[in-house]
Amino acid sequence: MTSATVTSATVASGTVAEDRETSGIAGALGALGDPTRRAIFEHLAQCPSAVGELAELLPVTRPAVSQHLKVLKEAGLVEDRRDGARRIYRVDPDGVQGLRDSLDRFWDNALHSFKARVERDTRVAQGKEASGA
């Protein structure tokens, strides 16, 4: 799922958009949870490659590499283009940006919640000190 898809879905409908975005995040993180897919993704971030080139680097078969690429593509993390008889895969910048935006929002929310809790606890502690408790 691209960030543009998430953005238009957000405008269209709040809860549906959140569900789609969450499933997109889950799909991307799930795809990267597999060590072979993560290795493929990391390689593609450095150098666009064909299936055969990736298979030479990894201890898996070409069909296995193709299946891993399919999962990464469905998660919106990888895209491909035809180059003669083969396909060249590369990291999809829109998909990565969407994942990064989601993770940034997650951490922003977590840090704001932490800050609010610390400030509340500080006020409570100061109130107890002022009252002599």
Range(s) of the domain holding residue 112? 3-131
Query: At 50, which CATH number?
Result: 1.10.10.10
Q: What is the pTM of this model?
A: 0.68
98: exposed, middle or buried (C-beta count within 10 Å: 0-12, 13-18, 19+)? Answer: buried
pLDDT tens string, the chain, 133 residues long: the values are 443 333 333 333 344 444 445 567 889 999 999 999 999 999 999 999 999 999 999 999 999 999 999 999 999 999 999 999 999 999 999 999 989 988 888 888 899 999 999 999 888 888 877 776 6
Q: Domain count for the chain, please give it.
A: 1
Kindly list the distances between the CA atom of residue 67 and the CA atoms of 36, 40, 55, 61, in Å, as whole numbers in the listed order: 11, 11, 12, 10
Q: State the first-to-last Cα distance of the chain, in angstroms, to the nearest integer.
A: 55
